[in-house]
Amino acid sequence: MKKFIFLAVLLLIQSTFNNAVIAQENKPVLVPLPSIDDFTKGEDGWAFGLGLGIEYESAYEGSDELGFEAQPAGAVQWRSGDNIYYFAGEAFGWRGLLNGKWLLGALIGFEEGREESDSDDGRLDGLGNQEEGFELVLQARRSFTPDWRYWLVSRFVASEEGNLALFGVGRRFGEQTDGTGSEVNLVFVVHDSDYANKGFGIDAMQSLSSGLDETKLSGGLRSVGIDYNYRKNINSDWQIYGEALFEYFSSEVRDSPIARSDYEAEVGIGVIYKF
């Protein structure tokens, strides 16, 4: 039932803003932000990007084990004025530009599960496997300048296993407005008790199986973090991108036996071909 609710909300949000969006002349990208992939080249209709990236990241949330992982990159997109609809991996979404100042978005995708085998050192043994589940993600950015130099950012994630929200500020570097260059965001993240315990809680049965202390977390501050995004066009078809993330957990999260590290980190680089 929740899957159908997510779909209904996504369609409602899109239809609400679709009529309010002010049409603008075609431009290379919807907004000049390196973190937002846009393969449409300023034209309405279909656009495609296909590529591959390599990430060096934490094995799971709170892990002190780091490793490399290959990830597909790109998306199938369809643009209509200031709206882009897209399918990327396991996510289907929409983003739209409102009055040139608001970038709004919604997507439905899969929330990654966690398996005991994610830890090569056996740190998750006895905790059981967590299945993938649907999640609804609502996003908004509000620019303070016409060229999207500074903005506020927010994100809300609703899932069957709890809710999470993110708030922060961002800045774009470089003079180009074609979606290349770099940007940085400073954020703080909050979660409810269900979401907190999904990642860092240990119930009585898990405690008995794993030997770890039973742990129950409350909702509140989850972390503070910083993320960096870089994008460069090699030519009209090829594009390279890079990203880095550092998230420092709150004291309650750090006290969980699952959190073997005080932070989560990720660095990635990849290449995309635009059709």
pLDDT in tens, 94-140: 999 999 999 999 999 988 889 999 999 999 999 999 988 899 999 99
Task: Give the C-alpha distances (Å, rounded to integers) separating 113 from 94, 129, 198, 236.
Answer: 24, 7, 10, 37
- Contacts of residue 221, defined as CB under 8 A and 6 or more positions apart, other chains included, come to 188, 189, 190, 250, 252
Residue 211 DSSP label: -
pTM of the model: 0.85
- Contacts of residue 24, defined as CB under 8 A and 6 or more positions apart, other chains included, come to 81, 82, 97, 100
Average pLDDT over residues 4-21: 42
Is the model's pLDDT at 209 over the cut of 90? Answer: yes
Residue 132 pLDDT: 83
Q: Which amino acid is at 35?
A: S
